[in-house]
Amino acid sequence: MANLIVYYSRKGQNYANGSIVDLAKGNTERVAEFIQKAVGGDLFEIETAREYSSDYMTCIEEAKAELRENARPELKSCPESLEGYDTIFLGYPNWWGTAPMCVFTFLERFDLTGKKIVPFCTNEGSGMGNSERDLKRACKGATVAAGLSIHGTEAARSEGKAAAWAKKNV
């Protein structure tokens, strides 16, 4: 059985230590790549059909509205099946205390019975928030492991931490 590393990540404007910075590669994407390098497996990026605003402050308001509505944004694509994967590393930024709603759109497309879901998130100090609890609710029949929280501004330097954690979860 193989590993699947699924992630949603925001490139461009991001919040970092009280300032808005421009990232060529999103923090969560960096961590996902470190995990893939450490344990192997396929990488899949969750992309929404309608892109969020490039302006960070507008984007977080869009994300808050989606959370309030319990929205399930349409995705650009999705794997046909998750058969053949027993461990699914699931990465996302912590938006308003949980995973972005597009992560739930992805999860709800599949029967996750018997899968191990291993969450990791990037954030600016809010840790995993309520995301682990929310994932347990969404991933019926799956085992949801304890997650890894990476401070966004440390994502580019988190390879050792991410690799050690990932290896413990396969």
Check which CATH number belongs to the domain holding 112 and give it.
3.40.50.360
pLDDT value at residue 96: 95
- pLDDT tens-digit map of 46-68: 999 999 999 999 999 999 999 99
Confidence check: pLDDT of 1 > 80: no
The model scores a pTM over 0.85: yes
- pLDDT tens-digit map of 84-141: 999 999 999 999 999 999 999 999 999 999 999 999 999 999 999 999 999 999 999 9
Question: How many structural domains is the chain composed of?
Answer: 1
Q: How confident is the model at residue 9 (pLDDT cuts 50, 70, 90)?
A: very high
Whole-angstrom Cα distance, residue 152 to residue 93?
8
Domain containing residue 24: 2-168
pLDDT value at residue 84: 94
The residue count of the chain comes to 170
pLDDT value at residue 44: 98
Whole-angstrom Cα distance, residue 145 to residue 81?
21
Please report, for residues 26, 30, 57, 103, 112, the alpha-carbon distance to residue 37 in angstroms, rounded to integers and kept in the order given.
Answer: 17, 11, 33, 22, 24
